[in-house]
Amino acid sequence: MCGIVGFTGRQNAAPILLDGLKKLEYRGYDSAGIAVMDDNGITVQKVKGRIANLCEKTKDGEAVPGFTGIGHTRWATHGAPTEENAHPHLSNDGRFAVVHNGIIENYSTLREELLADGYHFESETDTEVIVHLLEMYYNGSIREALIRTANRLSGSYALGVISSEEPGKIYAVREASPLILGVGIGENYFASDVTALVNHTRNVIYLEDGEFAELSESSIKIFDVLGQEVSKKPTRVLWDVQAAEKGGFEHFMLKEIMEQPGAVKATIAPRIRDGKVVFEELQGILPYLADIRKIIITACGSAYYAGCAGRYALERLTRIPVEVELASELRYSEPLIDDTTLVIVISQSGETADTIAALKECKTRGARTLAIVNVVGSTVAKLADYTIYTWAGPEIAVATTKGYTTQITVLYMLSVYFSDHLWRLTVPEETLTDMLMELPRRIQQAIDMNPTIPALAKKYHDHKALFFIGRNTDYATALEGALKMKEISYLHAEAYAAGELKHGTIALIEEHQPVIALCCNPSIMEKTLSNIVEVKSRGAEVLALTFRNNQKILSTADDLLFIPDVDALFSAVIEIVPLQLLAYYVAKENGCDIDKPKNLAKSVTVE
């Protein structure tokens, strides 16, 4: 996810663009840039790192004169966070500049075509194909060039464009990425969200998918995908800036929980083509895939629990033994690793000290290494032999949610991809990829099916301890559910393999002790039901997470959370969502600092 802004009017654009980018920095902050137009043409200034570096380089914009411009703050998805990969991107002839938020899924095909046509690329990004297509299609009308360019793109894009061919104008194009126009007096704007606009105007127009706009200081024209002009009335923004950064949500954590359908879709969609999982970044691993005798997944915290959840699909589909190890343990355990071992390292930040140390230890022992990371160009990504990025966008809340579910999603896709290339699939690949493509919708359903969670939180928020129990895939999810509860609500919570309770821990179950029972795996449902009866007979109050039609559980549990029907093979990314929301609302009841819990950091870069 990135932030884009545009301005045209009768005052210097650069300081306004920088101010807008500062308000969008939570959307992405690994590099930034502006392009400003004056009588001498387009000037582009870009930096690696934060907006502050761009302000310093441009003397807060004073060093870049011109009344028309566009700006971008980046969350890298294709190409490391470098100055060359920062936006805006300039056409070879210097007449067009583009900023982009989204993912161009067919960029590699377009890049090959443009290279063959003699266009020169400065960056590794997907975005740069757009500015060369504009140059190629321009024949006197920018509107026409934009329509022809947009017709070649597949994926998601919010674009900002300026051209020296049309001084004083900025163009905005929207497809599956938010883009809002700001209506001023003698000046006009666009931005990725209202955060960047409300200091200048509260009159905004929300572009719809397929629409594009031509803005000058005195006019805004909006067109549909066929180039027909459409009329749209401005609406008034009532949010304050702080609320707008969180998209109207009270906390970043709740916003990021709600972003999970989109984050999982962004992670899946570009990698499924014609019913098959495609990992272009893993071509080099295929020749020796058949030599892999063991897979070790290693990580910390929720990333470790993501490994625990994903290992079931990985083993079931690839038939390769999978071990999941805490990075802080693995690094000191003299692991039995050699070149027949594939080590999968999972990390949202890519900067966790124990995970980096474990990765180095495994490389030293000859393992081939594959990283699943959210931050492009991070240390883990650079150290691993292969890297698959989750495209969750920046995760601001310390407690991970979309980072966790997109990590598991990549493990699911990897399971199908490896199984296909090992000739071990027992069902048509398309059946599995259809199930994967369904996940974003199922996650949304899991959010919508549980309106009682705030009330349940009021009931459970002041117990001194909570138990989470489950078996197999349910147990893996219970581990993450307990961690979420602990780290943001400060209630003691423990996850137990349901079958283990009777071996000691059931001694702790007393009258009214809350037990959260995960019952989302039909093949072992009866066993978990007996565990529910066990704890209820000792006075526990059971909150069960299960399917709507599970009558036995429904008639046994005291309270219920639901998930939509989904195969247990891919259920972990759905099961966790009601538990994330339960932890969130319990923490809210307890008055905790949800986005910045005490004693925690977003990335644990120390051992």
Q: Which residues bind ligand AGP (CB under 6 A)?
A: 300-303, 347-349, 352, 355, 398-400, 487, 603-604
Catalytic residue (one of 57, 276, 527, 602): 602
**Shortest distance (Å) from residue 354 CB to ligand AGP:** 8
**Shortest distance (Å) from residue 558 CB to ligand AGP:** 28
Give 77's DSSP letter. S
CB 447 within 8 A of CB 495: no
**Shortest distance (Å) from residue 414 CB to ligand AGP:** 17
**Shortest distance (Å) from residue 330 CB to ligand AGP:** 14
Nearest to 191 by CA among 374, 323, 18: 18
Which helix H or strand E contains 118, and what residues bound it?
A: none
Helix (H/G/I), strand (E/B), else coil: 382:
helix
Q: Which is nearer to ligand AGP, 355 or 444 (CB)?
A: 355
Estimate the crossing angle of helix 429-448 against helix 260-268, to 10 degrees.
170
Burial grade of 14 (CB within 10 A; 0-12, 13-18, 19 or more): buried
CB 93 within 8 A of CB 42: no
**Phi and psi for 535 in degrees, rounded to 5?**
-75, -35
Q: Which is nearer to ligand AGP, 301 or 310 (CB)?
A: 301
**Shortest distance (Å) from residue 542 CB to ligand AGP:** 25
Q: Which is nearer to ligand AGP, 298 or 415 (CB)?
A: 298
Give the span between the Cα atoms of 520 and 545, in whole angstroms.
7
**Shortest distance (Å) from residue 482 CB to ligand AGP:** 11
Give the span between the Cα atoms of 330 and 344, in whole angstroms.
13
Q: β-strands 386-389, 368-373: how paired?
A: parallel
**Phi and psi for 447 in degrees, rounded to 5?**
-70, -45
CB 296 within 8 A of CB 335: yes
- Is 300 marked active-site? no
**Shortest distance (Å) from residue 397 CB to ligand AGP:** 8
Q: Token pair for residue 244?
A: 């707008």
Instruction: Tell me which long-range contacts 79-82 makes (C-beta under 8 A, separation of at least 24).
Output: 79/123, 79/124, 79/125, 79/376, 80/124, 80/376, 80/377, 81/30, 81/31, 81/48, 81/49, 81/376, 81/377, 82/31, 82/48, 82/377
Q: Which is nearer to ligand AGP, 69 or 301 (CB)?
A: 301
Contacts of 38 by beta carbon, 8 Å cutoff, 6+ apart: 65, 66, 67
Estimate the crossing angle of helix 128-137 against helix 142-152, to 10 degrees.
130
Give the span between the Cα atoms of 88 and 202, in whole angstroms.
26
CB 449 within 8 A of CB 562: yes
- Is 2 marked active-site? yes
Q: Which is nearer to ligand AGP, 13 or 479 (CB)?
A: 479
Q: Token pair for residue 414?
A: 């990897």
Q: Which is nearer to ligand AGP, 201 or 302 (CB)?
A: 302
Q: Token pair for residue 312?
A: 């079931």
Find residue 562's DSSP bridge partners: 546
**Shortest distance (Å) from residue 483 CB to ligand AGP:** 6
Q: Token pair for residue 287?
A: 């020749």
Instruction: Tell me which long-range contacts 228-234 makes (C-beta under 8 A, separation of at least 24).
Output: 232/205, 233/205, 234/183, 234/203, 234/204, 234/205
**Shortest distance (Å) from residue 345 CB to ligand AGP:** 9
Q: Token pair for residue 365?
A: 């022992």
Q: Which is nearer to ligand AGP, 28 or 69 (CB)?
A: 28
CB 104 within 8 A of CB 391: no
Q: Which is nearer to ligand AGP, 431 or 605 (CB)?
A: 605
**Shortest distance (Å) from residue 302 CB to ligand AGP:** 3
Cβ count near 283 (within 10 Å): 10
- CA angle (344, 345, 351) in 5-degree steps: 165
Q: Which is nearer to ligand AGP, 161 or 594 (CB)?
A: 594
Listed in sequence order, the DSSP H helices in 92-191 are 107-116, 128-137, 142-152
Listed in sequence order, the DSSP H helices in 392-462 are 402-421, 429-448, 453-460
Q: Which is nearer to ligand AGP, 303 or 544 (CB)?
A: 303
**Shortest distance (Å) from residue 395 CB to ligand AGP:** 9
> Which residue has the CB atom at the shortest distance from ligand AGP?
301
Q: Which is nearer to ligand AGP, 355 or 473 (CB)?
A: 355
Q: Which is nearer to ligand AGP, 178 or 301 (CB)?
A: 301
**Shortest distance (Å) from residue 146 CB to ligand AGP:** 39
Question: Looking up tokens 């989204």, which residue turns up?
Answer: 102
Give 208's DSSP letter. P
Catalytic residue (one of 2, 308, 519, 520): 2
Q: Token pair for residue 337?
A: 């690793």
Active-site positions?
2, 602
